[in-house]
C-alpha cells in the first residue's frame, strides 16, 4: 500500500523507523530499549532511516 501523502509518510516514518531491531532475534523494540523484549539480548541496532530529526 503506497503512501503518497507526505504528511502521513512523515508520521509513518517516525512510528516505524525510530525503533531498535534486535540483531539476535529481529524483534522490534522501542527506541529507548536497552535490551530486547523478546530474547533479552543487548545486541540491538537502531533502525532509523532518512529522518534525522527526533521529535520530543
Residue 25 sits in the site that holds Zn ion (CB under 5 A): yes
The answer to whether the beta carbons of residues 41 and 22 sit under 8 Å apart is yes
Nearer to Zn ion, 16 or 26 (CB): 26
The grid cell for 7 is 504528511
Residue 3 sits in the site that holds Zn ion (CB under 5 A): no
The grid cell for 14 is 517516525
Residue 24 sits in the site that holds Zn ion (CB under 5 A): yes
Residue 36 sits in the site that holds Zn ion (CB under 5 A): yes
Note the Cα 51 to chain centre separation in Å. Answer: 11
Q: Report the interface residues with Zn ion, using CB under 5 A.
A: 22, 24-25, 27, 36, 38-39, 41
Amino acid at each position: 500500500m503506497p503512501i503518497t501523502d507526505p504528511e502521513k509518510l512523515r508520521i509513518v516514518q517516525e512510528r516505524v523507523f525510530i525503533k531498535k531491531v534486535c540483531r539476535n532475534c529481529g524483534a522490534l523494540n522501542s527506541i529507548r530499549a536497552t535490551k530486547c523484549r523478546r530474547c533479552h539480548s543487548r545486541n540491538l541496532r537502531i533502525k532509523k532511516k532518512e529522518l534525522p530529526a527526533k521529535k520530543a
